[in-house]
C-alpha cells in the first residue's frame, strides 16, 4: 500500500495511490497520515479500502511529505561503507546521529532552495524509515515491528555550514527545503528486504549516485533499536539511514555542488522517485 499527502504546502490532505497509478483522496476515512493511522491496526483498516472507489485527485496536484505530525527527523551519518571510503572518513563503530530541522521538510517535487551565498549545497539519496508505533529502548529483534514503512529522503546538505563553521552537522542540514520526503509511504509489507534496495541520484541527467542499501554499516533494525535507546520514537518519526557513494563532496578530481537551475532526480527501488529544480533562496 502506498500512502501520500496531496495539496498545497500546509494544506495537505491524506491520500492513497490506486492500482491504476492515480492519486485518490482519503479524507473521508482519516484526517491525515499520522499518529494511530500508522499503527498496524490503522494500516490494516486502510488496506481494506477499495482505492479505485475513492475520489480521484486532479493529475498534477502537488504531493507533500507522505507523513505528518512527526516529532523527530533523525539522520544517520556515514552509514555506508563505500560512502565513508569516498570521503576519506573512518567507518564509525557506532551510528552517528544528528537531527534535521522539521522546518526542512518538503514535498518530493518541491524546489530545492540554495541558501544565499552557498557554493557547497549537496545531494544525498537516502532510505527513510517511518515509525508506526512508539519505540522506546527496543531490541534489534523487536525493531522492525515498530516500522510502518519506508520512503525516499533527499538529505540535502550545505557542506560549508556542516563541516567548516564549527559545532555539529545539524547547521548544514536544516535549511528550508533540505528534507524532501516521498513521493509516498510504502508500507513495510511491500518491502521484502530493506537491505537489498537499489538507489540512485541524477544531476541534470548524469548518474551520480548508483548504490544499494546492501552496503549499510548498520541495518535498519539496528538503527531503529539504537536510536530508540536515546530518543523515544513516535508514530510518523523519520530515520534517514545514510547515503551511498556519489555525493558532490566525494567527486573526483574535485567536488561538484548544486547551483540554481539544475534538475535533481533520485529514487529507490520500490519506493518511487523525487524530481527537484534548484533555485536561489
Label each residue of 204-270 as H, E or C.
CCEEEEEEEHHHECCCHHHHHHHHHHHCCECCCCEEECCCCCCCHHHCCCCCCCECCCCEEEEEECC
User: Average pLDDT over the chain, rounded to whole?
Assistant: 96
* pLDDT for 89: 77
Reduce the DSSP state of residue 85 to 3 states and report it.
Answer: helix
Per-residue pLDDT reduced to its tens digit, 25-34: 999 999 999 9
49: cell is: 479500502
**Rounded Cα distance, 119 and 28, in Å:** 46
* pLDDT for 98: 96
Per-residue pLDDT reduced to its tens digit, 115-156: 999 999 999 999 999 999 999 999 999 999 999 999 999 999
**Rounded Cα distance, 59 and 241, in Å:** 31
Candidates 131, 138, 157; CA nearest to 71 is 131
The 10 Å Cβ neighbour count of residue 23 is 23
> Does residue 238 contact residue 152 with C-beta atoms inside 8 Å?
no
Global pTM reads 0.96
* pLDDT for 143: 98
* pLDDT for 85: 79
Per-residue pLDDT reduced to its tens digit, 185-229: 999 999 999 999 999 999 999 999 999 999 999 999 999 999 999
* pLDDT for 167: 81
- Give rounded-to-5 percent helix, strand, coil for the chain: 20, 30, 45
Query: Residue 87's pLDDT band (boundaries 50, 70, 90)?
Result: confident
* pLDDT for 83: 80
Q: What angle do CA 202, 208, 153 make, to 5 degrees?
A: 65
Concatenate the DSSP letters of all residues of 26-43 into one string.
-TTT-S-S-GGGGSHHHH
- Which architecture, in CATH terms, is 65-280? Alpha-Beta Complex (3.90)
Query: Residue 80's pLDDT band (boundaries 50, 70, 90)?
Result: very high
Q: Where are the domains of the chain?
A: 65-280
Query: Residue 175's pLDDT band (boundaries 50, 70, 90)?
Result: very high
> Does residue 108 contact residue 186 with C-beta atoms inside 8 Å?
no
* pLDDT for 24: 98
Percent of the chain with pLDDT over 70: 100
* pLDDT for 82: 81
Stated as kind and residue range, the H or E segment containing 5 is strand 2-6
* pLDDT for 91: 86
Amino acid at each position: 500500500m502506498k500512502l501520500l499527502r496531496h495539496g498545497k504546502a500546509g494544506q495537505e490532505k491524506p491520500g492513497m495511490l490506486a492500482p491504476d497509478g492515480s492519486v485518490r483522496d482519503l479524507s473521508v476515512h482519516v484526517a491525515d497520515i499520522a499518529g494511530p493511522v500508522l499503527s498496524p491496526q490503522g494500516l490494516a483498516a486502510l488496506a481494506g479500502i477499495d482505492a479505485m472507489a475513492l475520489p480521484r485527485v486532479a493529475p498534477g496536484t502537488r504531493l507533500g511529505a507522505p507523513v505528518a505530525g512527526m516529532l523527530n527527523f533523525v539522520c544517520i551519518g556515514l552509514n555506508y561503507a563505500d560512502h565513508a571510503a569516498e570521503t576519506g572518513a573512518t567507518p564509525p563503530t557506532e551510528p552517528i546521529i544528528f537531527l534535521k530541522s522539521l522546518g526542512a521538510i518538503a514535498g518530493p517535487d518541491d524546489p530545492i532552495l540554495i541558501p544565499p551565498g552557498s557554493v557547497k549545497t549537496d545531494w544525498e539519496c537516502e532510505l527513510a524509515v517511518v515509525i508506526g508505533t512508539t519505540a522506546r529502548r527496543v531490541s534489534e529483534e523487536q525493531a522492525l515491528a515498530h516500522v510502518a514503512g519506508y520512503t525516499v529522503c533527499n538529505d540535502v546538505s550545505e557542506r560549508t555550514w556542516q563541516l567548516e563553521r564549527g559545532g555539529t552537522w545539524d547547521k548544514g542540514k536544516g535549511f528550508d527545503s533540505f528534507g524532501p520526503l516521498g513521493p509516498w509511504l510504502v508500507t513495510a509489507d511491500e518491502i521484502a528486504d530493506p537491505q537489498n534496495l537499489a538507489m540512485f541520484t541524477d544531476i541534470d541527467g548524469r548518474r551520480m549516485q548508483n548504490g544499494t542499501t546492501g552496503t549499510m554499516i548498520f541495518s535498519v533494525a539496528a538503527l531503529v533499536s539504537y536510536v530508540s535507546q536515546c530518543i523515544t520514537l513516535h508514530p510518523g518519526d523519520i530515520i534517514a539511514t545514510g547515503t551511498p557513494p556519489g555525493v558532490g563532496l566525494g567527486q573526483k578530481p574535485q567536488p561538484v555542488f548544486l547551483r540554481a537551475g539544475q534538475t535533481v532526480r533520485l529514487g529507490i527501488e520500490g519506493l518511487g522517485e523525487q524530481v527537484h529544480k534548484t533555485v536561489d533562496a
